[in-house]
Chain A
């Protein structure tokens, strides 16, 4: 039930771009993206629904391909504050409202 994320970890210099992928073996209703800094609670970034939509939040955007059951998070011109672990959470088409989270992608942005 747990989605698969890739890569597991990535190191960027400030200003570089990154893509984090999330895929599921189950049909999805929505995909949620969260960021967690060390020792803190996960913080909601954005939600994507069926329909192949894309969303943006400052220089962070995401897409959702429901046919492939995949979502990607795009970080553009990364800033030091982007460092943290990114999790995708998936809600299935059938079943309850709860989210199943991927294993996480640790992003480190260095000066």
Chain B
């Protein structure tokens, strides 16, 4: 029973390049969440998606960042024209989403660590 799978685990990009981070939710989970964590800081909410829908993107920067969760395949967080300030760990989490009160208990992936040179 694989958990939340994120790849790549580590990604190095030069300023101006694009970064694509992938997340496959746990089996049976249809809700995906992306969080950003700077070193020694907390988890900052970015975006919440269901299949083919963005539910809440209030934490996403207005420019350069986008996320999708297509009908088939993993969720993707895309960062265009990366800058040094984008260097962080990006965690994906998933949940069943509906039903019991525990339906939005999040299971986290191991994270993708982006370094921008």
Residues of A within 8 A of B (CB): 1-2, 30, 32, 34, 40-44, 47, 49, 87, 89, 91, 95-104
Contacts and interface: CB of A to CB of B under 8 A. Distances in A.
Contacts of A99: 33, 45, 104, 106
Most buried by A among B31, B48, B107, B108: B108
B35 to A, nearest CB: 7
B87 to A, nearest CB: 15
A51 to B, nearest CB: 10
Contacts of A40: 110
B42 A101 contact: yes
A104 to B, nearest CB: 5
B43 A30 contact: no
A55 B105 CA distance: 15
Contacts of B41: 103-104
Interface stretch (B13-21, B64-72, B94-102): B94-102
23 contacts: A1-B58, A2-B44, A30-B101, A34-B108, A41-B109, A41-B111, A42-B106, A47-B101, A87-B42, A95-B56, A96-B48, A96-B56, A97-B31, A97-B95, A97-B97, A97-B103, A98-B45, A99-B33, A99-B104, A102-B42, A103-B41, A104-B42, A104-B43
B43 A96 contact: no
A50 to B, nearest CB: 9
Interface in B38-69: 41-45, 48, 55-56, 58
B108 A89 contact: no
A25 to B, nearest CB: 16
B103 to A, nearest CB: 8
A30 B106 CA distance: 13
A49 B111 contact: no
A84 to B, nearest CB: 13
Contact of B45 (A41, A47, A101): A101
